[in-house]
Amino acid sequence: MLRQFREIKNFALAASDGEIGKARELYFDDESWIVRYLVVDTGGWLTGRSVLIAPQSLGPVNKERELIAVKLTKAQVENSPPVEMEKPVSRQYEEEFHRYYGYPGYWLAPEIVGLGAAPSMAEAVPELLAKENVRNDRGDPHLRSTSEVDGYAIHATDGDIGQVDDFIVDDADWAIRYLVISRSWWPGKKVILATEWTDQVSWEERKVVVPLAREAIKDAPEWDDTQPITRDFETRLHDYYGRKGYWPIGV
């Protein structure tokens, strides 16, 4: 289901034997817009420590209970490698994290990494990680956080047209499907833009570059943020831009 990240931010994370904290932000790949980690604020449980949870470990989202299921125990989370949130997530840390949970590194074998990847892959992890000879202490340059990109300018072919205000996340495969545009140069209308239509996310200039004219974005189908995003609306939006949908034909 498509959800605004703002809607599920602060939802509780429920491990198999109790709550572990609340959702704080997402780390995602700015080329594929796939979520790599959910950042969990553990509050007083782990003395204010934050932890990362990979999508492979996430279960269903329950809007009514404001809960996200986690397919781990509290002990597994507590004993996971500590992360320093004030620093970039290094590749060395990611290797340690994936070894601990028995998940193959997405940077090594993207074709087998996904929600279906299970701890049964653990025996393959050491061999895969052994092939990674370069250590990048600054981390993956394409790994971004939602809190950082929130507020970036949307830069069209003929100038800026607003800012990133939120992220529409597909909780079936934890992909960021759309960006919500706010503070645009037209009043009283809300629009969303598919992430697959973006060209680049620039750290230095704090902007998301899109190969579209401002007028085209301005005249796009209006988005009602009080209603769920339906497949009919998505189809209308993609048809407007002359783009194919990300979903299978007939779904």
What structural domains does the chain harbor?
2-143 (2.30.30.240), 150-241 (3.90.50.10)
Q: What is the mean pLDDT of the chain?
A: 86
Mean pLDDT is highest, among 8-22, 88-102, 178-192, for 8-22
pLDDT exceeds cutoff 90 at 188: no
What would the mean pLDDT of 166-181 be, rounded to a whole number? 96
Confidence of residue 140 (pLDDT cuts 50, 70, 90): low
8 A C-beta contact, residue 38 and residue 20 = no
What would the mean pLDDT of 46-74 be, rounded to a whole number? 94
**Residue 22 has which token pair?**
């609340």
Burial 154-170 (b: 16+ CB within 10 A, else e): bbbeeeebbbbbbbbbb
What would the mean pLDDT of 115-137 be, rounded to a whole number? 44
Closest of 204, 199, 163 to residue 31, by C-alpha: 199
Provide the pLDDT for residue 171: 94
DSSP for the chain reads -EEEHHHHTTPEEEETTEEEEEEEEEEEETTT-BEEEEEEE-TTTTTT-EEEE-GGGEEEEETTTTEEEESS-HHHHHTSPP--TTS---HHHHHHHHHHHTPPPTTT-TTT-STT--GGGGGGHHHHHHT-----TT--TTEEEHHHHTT-EEEETTEEEEEEEEEEEETTTTEEEEEEEES-SSSS--EEEEGGG--EEETTTTEEE-SS-HHHHHTSPP--TTS---HHHHHHHHHHHT---SSPTT-
Residue 72: CB atoms within 10 Å: 21
Residue range 144-168, pLDDT digits in tens: 899 999 999 999 999 999 999 999 9
- In whole angstroms, what is the distance from residue 196 CA to residue 245 CA? 10
Confidence of residue 133 (pLDDT cuts 50, 70, 90): very low
Confidence of residue 251 (pLDDT cuts 50, 70, 90): low
Provide the pLDDT for residue 109: 55
Per the DSSP assignment, residues forming a β-bridge with 201 are: 208
pLDDT exceeds cutoff 80 at 66: yes
- In whole angstroms, what is the distance from residue 187 CA to residue 100 CA? 49
pLDDT exceeds cutoff 60 at 125: no
